């Protein structure tokens, strides 16, 4: 049991670091080459909630962005140009959220969330549902992330804009909010 | 916790020495025909990536590495072989894989394998490997080698894989560079052994194959 606690603590530290709390400086609101990237995971079929999503830039060396999550919606307002896809995501379970779960979206080649950001803009990674695949007693269970049509890109973008406009730390990113509104107008 | 376990399994699955100690044997280039054992056949070919690996592109970070795991990954491929055509997951080097070829990329390889290992059932090139990451480029299997009972050495071709920025293989070609490979073969081993041309072929599995 103590070993499990140590591992949980180490993982929690890793998650904290990955989440950008310990390393990545805030995005400069004046920075013009960065994009707004967003997506959605429905984790109702999973053992855990969704607490973090890690977006990976395929470069040498690779770079990772931790995307803020709320109610399945995740986004980042300062993603630089490059090829990206969701790498890992995770959350917690248990009475006090003491058990940490981490999932790999699929890093063996291109996965469904793959995008290439060539110029600043608004990029949608898609909406997916976590689907659990029971493998029986003697094999590790599997999961898949299946694309879903609802909520739509439009609905999710509306939520992103509402969140940014109401959040004291995000409302300063007026360029990103404007880009999001333009994209929303194009989706109507 | 689940992922930690999976990573540990991944590490185990890729350790050549563990493989050697378990069900599968690891095979690398030889420099002398004296190293070719009875009941083995020398496979000659080449693995190419388009674009080639850039300097430092493989991000292999291991701490203590007494078994030389890193060496088996850097600028090398891992090709899982079996005596039967079957579906084997990319990270499954246990029951489904009976031998592993570990050729250096972008140069002609000369690797002896047991004659029964005529099917390449999985293949990977490690792109990132650490306790926190396990990204691989998947070589598109399965393939069949035309190994015949009297073969001593066969040329299986150049497996050229085109890839995108996500390490996804977008196109695979099997090219015939027999003339150049044969010249290298003679230079390395002399003219005492015949190098027969038997290009590898992509294999279509039926639903019942594993």
Q: pLDDT digit string (tens) for B139-192? A: 877 899 999 999 999 999 999 999 999 999 999 999 999 999 999 999 999 988
Residues A146/A131, Cβ–Cβ less than 8 Å? yes
> What is the pLDDT tens value at each position of chain A, 188 positions in all?
344 444 444 444 444 344 333 346 789 999 999 999 999 999 999 999 999 999 999 988 889 999 989 999 999 999 999 999 999 999 998 877 788 899 999 878 899 999 999 999 999 999 999 999 887 777 777 899 999 999 999 999 999 999 999 999 999 999 999 999 999 999 97
**B135, B167 Cβ separation under 8 angstroms:** yes
Which residues on A lie below 8 Å from B138 (Cβ)?
Answer: 108-109
Residue B138: closest CA among B49, B45, B41, B8: B49
Percent of chain B surpassing pLDDT 90: 57
Q: Which long-range contacts (CB under 8 A, 24 or more apart) does A20-23 make?
A: A20/A65, A20/A66
pTM for the whole thing? 0.79
Q: Which two tokens stand for residue A25?
A: 């400086």
Please give the C-alpha separations between residue A182 and each of A157, A160, A161, A177, A188, in angstroms, as whole numbers.
11, 13, 11, 9, 10
Q: B23 pLDDT exceeds 60? A: no
CA dist B109 and A78 (Å) reads 46
pLDDT reported for residue A9: 45
Assess whether pLDDT exceeds 80 at residue B1. Answer: no
Determine phi and psi for B200, rounding to 5 degrees.
-65, 150
Residue A117 pairs in a beta bridge with: A82
Q: Decide if B102 contacts B24 (C-beta within 8 A).
A: no
**Residue A71 neighbours by CB under 8 Å, 6+ apart:** none
Reply yes or no: is the peptide bond before residue B142 cis, omega within 30 of 0.
yes
Which residues does A80 contact at the CB level (< 8 Å), separation at least 6?
A33, A34, A35, A57, A117
Contacts of B56 in chain A (CB under 8 A): 60-61
* Residue from the list B6, B57, B169 with its beta carbon closest to the beta carbon of A60: B57
CA B85 to chain centre: 16
- Cβ distance B1 to A8 less than 8 Å, yes or no, reads yes
| Separation between Cα atoms, residue A156 and residue B152, nearest integer Å | 63
Interface of B with A (CB under 8 A): 1-4, 6, 54, 56-57, 59, 90, 128, 132-138, 164-169
8 Å CB contact of B165 and A62: no
B153 Cα to chain A: minimum distance (Å): 33
Show the tokens assigned to A167. 């959040």
Q: Looking at this predicted complex, what is its ipTM? A: 0.76
Best of B1, B90, B131 to mutate (most A CBs within 10 Å, chain A)? B1
């Amino acid at each position: 049991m103590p070993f499990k606690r140590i591992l949980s603590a180490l993982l929690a530290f890793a998650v904290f670091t990955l989440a950008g709390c310990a390393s990545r400086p805030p995005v400069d609101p004046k920075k013009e080459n960065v994009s707004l990237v967003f997506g959605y995971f429905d984790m109702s079929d999973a053992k855990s909630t969704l607490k973090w999503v890690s977006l990976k830039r395929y470069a040498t060396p690779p770079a990772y962005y931790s995307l803020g999550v709320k109610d399945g919606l995740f986004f980042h307002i300062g993603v630089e140009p490059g090829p990206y896809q969701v790498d890992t995501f995770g959350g917690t379970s248990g009475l006090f959220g003491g058990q940490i779960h981490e999932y790999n979206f699929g890093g063996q080649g291109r996965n469904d969330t793959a995008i290439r950001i060539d110029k600043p803009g608004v990029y949608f990674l898609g909406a997916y549902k976590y689907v659990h695949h029971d493998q029986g007693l003697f094999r590790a269970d599997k999961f898949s992330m299946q694309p879903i049509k609802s909520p739509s890109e439009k609905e999710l973008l509306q939520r992103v804009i509402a969140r940014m406009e109401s959040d004291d730390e995000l409302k300063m990113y007026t360029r990103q909010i404007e880009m999001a509104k333009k994209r929303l107008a194009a989706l109507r | 916790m689940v992922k930690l376990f999976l990573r540990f399994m991944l590490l185990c699955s890729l350790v050549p020495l563990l493989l050697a100690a378990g069900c599968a044997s690891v095979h690398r280039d030889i420099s002398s025909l004296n190293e070719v054992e009875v009941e083995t056949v020398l496979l000659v070919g080449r693995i190419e990536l388009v674009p080639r690996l850039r300097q430092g592109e493989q991000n292999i970070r291991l701490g203590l590495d007494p078994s030389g795991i890193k060496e088996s990954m850097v600028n090398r491929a891992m090709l899982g072989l079996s005596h039967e055509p079957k579906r084997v997951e990319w990270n499954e080097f246990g029951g489904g894989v009976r031998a592993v070829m570990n050729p250096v990329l972008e140069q002609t390889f000369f690797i002896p394998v047991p004659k029964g290992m005529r099917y390449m059932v999985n293949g990977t090139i490690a792109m990132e490997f650490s306790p926190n990451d396990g990204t691989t480029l998947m070589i598109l299997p399965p393939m069949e080698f035309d190994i015949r009972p009297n073969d001593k050495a066969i040329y299986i071709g150049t497996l050229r894989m085109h890839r995108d920025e996500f390490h996804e293989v977008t196109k695979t070609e099997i090219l015939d560079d027999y003339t150049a490979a044969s010249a290298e073969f003679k230079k390395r081993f002399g003219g005492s052994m015949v190098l027969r041309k038997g290009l590898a072929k992509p294999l279509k599995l039926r639903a019942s194959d594993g």
